[in-house]
Amino acid sequence: MPNYRRARVAGATCFFTVVTAQRRPLLDSATRIAALRQSVDEIRRLLPFEIDAWVVLPDHMHAIWTLPTGDGDFSKRWGRIKAGFTRSCGHAHTSAPGCDAGLWQPRFWEHVIRDEADFAAHMDYTHYNPVKHGYVKRVVDWPYSSFHRCVRRGHYPTDWGDSEPDYPQDCVFGE
């Protein structure tokens, strides 16, 4: 098995892509979204982090987190969030190679945000994702997104995303 290296930067802001096993649409109901939120809330109480952005689609999600100063362990947080969600669905959590019992792909993709332009591009990518995948025509119409919170805080106008954002050439996204 390969030895994956993670960029563990204490206090970093990171973009993540987390995918369900075999891209099954497991995050396709308000009940399952509520279970995911509960798992996230529980882990944030134990292992705090800031949620800068989050979007949940039926078979994957993107998030941007800022970790506390002195803490770079996002892997533990993701592992516990995924395990908590899996338990709430009544399944045993496993990520053993070749085992189909798990609800999640065993790993996730991360990118450490480099600067404000990189942060802005990943925020836009996160929030535009439901339109990109054809779930809605307008960003504002997707209910499972931090976009609505960002609008309330004045970071985006309500009609943002009516056309695809122009991402910088050097931006990388884990789709």
Catalytic positions are: 144
Residues 70, 132: Cα–Cα separation, whole Å: 36
Q: Are 56 and 27 in contact (CB under 8 A)?
A: yes
Nearest-CA neighbor of 47 among 76, 69, 4? 76
R_g (Cα) of the chain, nearest Å: 16
- Distances from the Cα of 149 to the Cαs of 114, 134, 141, 152, in angstroms? 23, 22, 13, 5
